[in-house]
Amino acid sequence: MDRVALRGLKARGHHGVFPKEREEGQTFIVDLVLGLDTRPAAVDDDLAKTVHYGIVAEEVVAVVEGEPVNLIETLAERIAQACLKHDGVQEVEVCVHKPDAPITVPFDDVTVTITRSRV
């Protein structure tokens, strides 16, 4: 299976279990790896035979900016399901970064990574 990756998609969302997170929001960063067969697109040099990663990026940002959820696990699942709606995408790995998570000790990042497939 071939891979198309989008790294560092940024959007502001209001996800989290604490009132401050819901009220003020924060930046979330999403990395995606889409699994699909790119051979038909490559042979015909045809965008319609692959995934349009620009549209996927816009849809992912819309999910992050959309309805708030408590957990980034839930956010990752919603993103994965949006990606799998695209014809040809057989598998997706989603990594959601929450670099401004409300943690009381120094840290660089918090991430949740999931893999989902049509099978």
Alpha helices in the chain (DSSP H): 19-24, 39-44, 53-65, 72-84
Distances (CA, A) of 83 to 22, 42, 87, 96, 99: 25, 21, 9, 14, 23
Which residues share a beta bridge with 83?
none
Distance of CA 72 to the CA centre of its chain: 11
Residues tagged active-site: 98
